[in-house]
């Protein structure tokens, strides 16, 4: 495993000889997630994943 010269990517070799490149910058990961999302979180999902105290109806 190694970082790219710019430090924004992680390069890792797999056991099968493959090379994988991962985004290491949290801001870039958030931007990728924002581009991929097609809907907002439901009340139950917000309570579960964002730990918000909400009164969600079942």
pLDDT for the residue numbered 7:
87
Is a pLDDT exceeding 80 seen at residue 58? no
pLDDT for the residue numbered 53:
85
pLDDT digits (tens, 9 = 90+) for 5-33: 988 899 999 999 999 999 888 888 889 88
What is the enclosing helix (H) or strand (E) of 57?
none
- Name the pTM for this structure: 0.47
User: Six-digit token pair at 49?
Assistant: 């994943």
* Average pLDDT over the chain, rounded to an integer: 89
> How many Cα atoms within 13 Å fall on the side-chain side of residue 26?
0
Show the beta-strand stretches assigned E in the chain.
Answer: 2-3, 9-13, 19-23
């Amino acid at each position: 495993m190694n970082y790219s010269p710019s430090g924004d990517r992680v390069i890792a070799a797999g056991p099968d000889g493959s090379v994988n490149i991962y985004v290491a910058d949290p801001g870039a990961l958030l931007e990728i997630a924002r581009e991929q999302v097609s809907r907002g979180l439901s009340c139950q999902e917000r309570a579960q994943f964002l730990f918000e105290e909400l009164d969600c109806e079942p």
